[in-house]
Amino acid sequence: MEGWIMRNVLTGTWIALALGLAHGAQAEIFHRETINEFRAVSIAYDAQVCGIWVANESNEVVLLSTFGKELRRFETGMRSVRSLTVEEDGILIASGWGEFRRLDREGRAIDTPFRLSETLYDTEGLHRDADGSFLVVEDDPSRLLRIAPDGAVLMELFGDSFDPPMTEPQGVTRDPYSGNILVVDDNEGLNSLFELAPDGRVLSVTPLSQYGFDAEGVALQPETGTLYVGFDSGRALAIFDWIPSEITIDTPLERGPDCAYS
């Protein structure tokens, strides 16, 4: 019943946004709960298994239910996983030193380690978008990039030029309904959630310090508007309800299989 109510609330919000009734509004965030003593440096929502993949900067990845219950854990064959994202056949993981690898959902290697793009080294956050391209954030220098499947750089934006500056971007995802890009900036920056238009325009900045220390991972379950933020040094995974500030695309992106319960 709670999930049904939340979906209807979100549906009403989307109608209001589409009619322009919420023009100029700030994104809204409502804290649900926090899972303590759980390190999450990168998070990715997977509608095919209705779960959240988590990297904790070890050689393992963990699959959680949308409630936060551990479902699966396996070694990746990579010494340390710094970021990850979901693809059709499984997950793509990155070491943070330029090395990438694809695994199926049972942890079996699909291919050998490779370079996604020659420009990528310090990959802090990774998100595969609906068109097959990748959103990537790095913190040295502070960059938000869009990378084509063949490795070509389609977009490069520098966080230091944002207003306010986004100096330490760590995690990235995209809301398929509004089109907005979500990036978390860690404690060396503003320890905040940046909501960006597809061109990098800053729509809203939501402080996160009251919920945790050192934000590093972010994922969104779009069907329910459930937002997950991982805090590295704070060793916590916080779960929120989230509503975007505005819609920035004409047509919603493909969302994948339905997973509208949480």
Instruction: State mean pLDDT over 163-192.
Output: 96
CA angle 97–101–102, rounded 5-degree value: 155
pLDDT at residue number 253:
81
pLDDT in tens, 81-129: 999 999 999 999 999 889 999 999 999 999 999 999 999 988 999 999 9
pLDDT in tens, 2-40: 343 343 434 344 333 433 433 457 899 999 999 999 999
DSSP 8-class letter at 161: G
pLDDT in tens, 43-80: 999 999 999 999 998 999 999 999 899 999 999 999 99
Residue carrying structure tokens 């929502």: 45
CB atoms inside a 10 Å sphere around CB 64: 21
Distance (Å, whole) CA 202 – CA 164: 8
Tokens of 157: 């934006």
pLDDT at residue number 13:
41
Distance (Å, whole) CA 198 – CA 146: 10
CATH of the domain at 151: 2.120.10.30
Query: Which of 93, 96, 127 lies closest to 112 in space, CA to CA?
Result: 93
pLDDT at residue number 52:
97
Query: Which of 76, 49, 41 lies closest to 60 in space, CA to CA?
Result: 76
What pTM did the predictor assign?
0.89
**In the chain, % of residues over pLDDT 70:** 89
In a domain, 199, yes or no: yes
In a domain, 250, yes or no: no
In a domain, 252, yes or no: no
Full domain range(s) for residue 48: 2-243
What's the mean per-residue pLDDT of the chain? 89
Distance (Å, whole) CA 165 – CA 29: 21
In a domain, 235, yes or no: yes
